[in-house]
Amino acid sequence: MAASKHPLGPAPCRFAFPLAAGIAAALASCLADVRPGFSSGAGEHLKSAYHGGIQDRRLLEESLRSPSKTQLSPSDVGTGPPAAEMNVRTAQAGFPAGASGFGSRAEGFEEALRRAFPMTPDMVRRYREIFEENERAIREIPEPTPLVEAEIVMLEPGDPPPSLRVSPGIASVIGFFDAFGNPWAIRQHVVGNGDDYRIVDLGEGTNSLAISPAVRVGWTNLVVVLEDEPLPVVARVIVDRKSAHFRHEIRVLRRRALEDTRGRGSSPKPKNYIRFALDGFGLPDDAARVPVSGAQASAWLIGDDLYVRSAHTLVSPPWTETASSPDGVHAYRLSASPVLLFSIGGAITRADVELP
């Protein structure tokens, strides 16, 4: 008979409570007939207990169907990820959240998750963003203006030393060359402050050094001894965050070096001396220096040719050969003339040459 089925069976919800009330009343009546001490009040208590069991079952089934709807307890607040999220994780691991049949294993699993992952994924992502912002603010500095220059060094008393500008995080290269542009090997080098500046030889027998500062401000000096040259080259090293030499070439003009180069035959004796006039050094002994007035220039008379060296552009008379250096100095070879016209600041300026 349908009435003999267990009250928790799959009966329609609208018939559950009337049927339960009837069964409880009948059971109470039977018990009263069998046991005279069983009162009608006991029957009411039986009905109330039955209704409570039905309600507990409904709550359990609802918890199993919707684990994420489990309410938070006060102990879950401020102890890592929210308890609702922990219930979802527990359910994903095979422990239905809110179920009472798994005991301390589910609680231990949730506690292990709280200890291993105290922050939610959103908290982790935000933490990483803040960390990267602070790292960028600490390490990002404006890039200095790169410099690639050449400089002539005479190694004469009173000449200012060359300067090398360096910047933190940048390796600046300084190279040494002779008057003909050939690499001049470095025999030894010394830096004034070895703690704050790192110097590396760029190979065995090299003519170049790489310099990088370990400080943001300051200066020092660099002493370089070249092969077969008794006088050292002394350069200033300045830390500059606005500009830095990526490469700086030093052309060292020494008479002994010129004579040795000619003797080795690496560079044949030129038919003219335009390159020597550009350097202002190494001209033959019969070259007669002649005074120039009216403009900043130097001039030498060799035979019928006049060699002129100046930072200004020669306009007249016409020249037969010219050469220029990276630092903006020009040399001209022309027929001997007592008058020279230069372009200075957009204007034509006259210079007089005192010929013998």
* Domain residue ranges in the chain: 2-116, 146-256, 271-353
Write the CA distances from 349 to 36, 151, 205, 295, integer angstroms.
142, 27, 48, 7
Q: Tell me, what DSSP letter sits at residue 67?
A: G
Write the CA distances from 353 to 8, 41, 210, 262, integer angstroms.
126, 140, 45, 31
Write the CA distances from 210 to 191, 199, 216, 270, integer angstroms.
12, 6, 17, 34
Residues 173, 162: Cα–Cα separation, whole Å? 14
Determine the pLDDT at residue 209: 95
Torsion on CA atoms 84, 90, 94, 98, rounded to nearest 10:
-50
Residues 162, 45: Cα–Cα separation, whole Å? 107
First to last CA, the chain: 146
Q: Where are the alpha helices (DSSP H) in the chain?
A: 13-34, 40-65, 83-92, 104-116, 121-139, 255-264, 274-279
Structural tokens at position 78: 């401020």
**pLDDT tens for the 356 residues of the chain, in order:** 444 444 444 444 443 444 444 444 444 444 444 444 444 444 454 445 444 444 544 554 554 455 444 444 444 444 455 555 555 555 555 555 554 445 567 778 888 888 888 888 899 999 999 999 998 888 888 889 999 888 888 787 778 899 999 999 899 999 998 877 788 999 999 999 999 999 999 888 899 999 999 999 999 999 999 998 888 999 999 999 899 999 999 988 765 445 454 444 444 444 568 888 887 777 888 888 999 999 999 999 988 899 999 989 999 888 888 888 777 788 999 999 999 999 998 889 999 999 88
Q: Strand, coil or helix: what is 124? A: helix
Reported as type and span, the H/E element at residue 249 is strand 243-252
Residues 47, 61: Cα–Cα separation, whole Å? 22
Q: Residue 200: CB partners within 8 Å, gap ≥ 6?
A: 171, 209, 210
Determine the pLDDT at residue 350: 93
pTM confidence score: 0.46
Determine the pLDDT at residue 97: 52
Residues 322, 330: Cα–Cα separation, whole Å? 7
> For the chain, how big is the Rg over CA atoms in Å?
49
Q: Strand, coil or helix: what is 186? A: strand
Residues 238, 215: Cα–Cα separation, whole Å? 11
Contact 170, 212 (CB under 8 A): yes
Please report where in the chains the tokens 């039955």 appear, as a residue: 50
β-pair type (172-177, 233-239): unpaired
Domain 146-256 bears CATH identifier 2.60.40: yes
Residues 245, 165: Cα–Cα separation, whole Å? 5
Determine the pLDDT at residue 181: 74
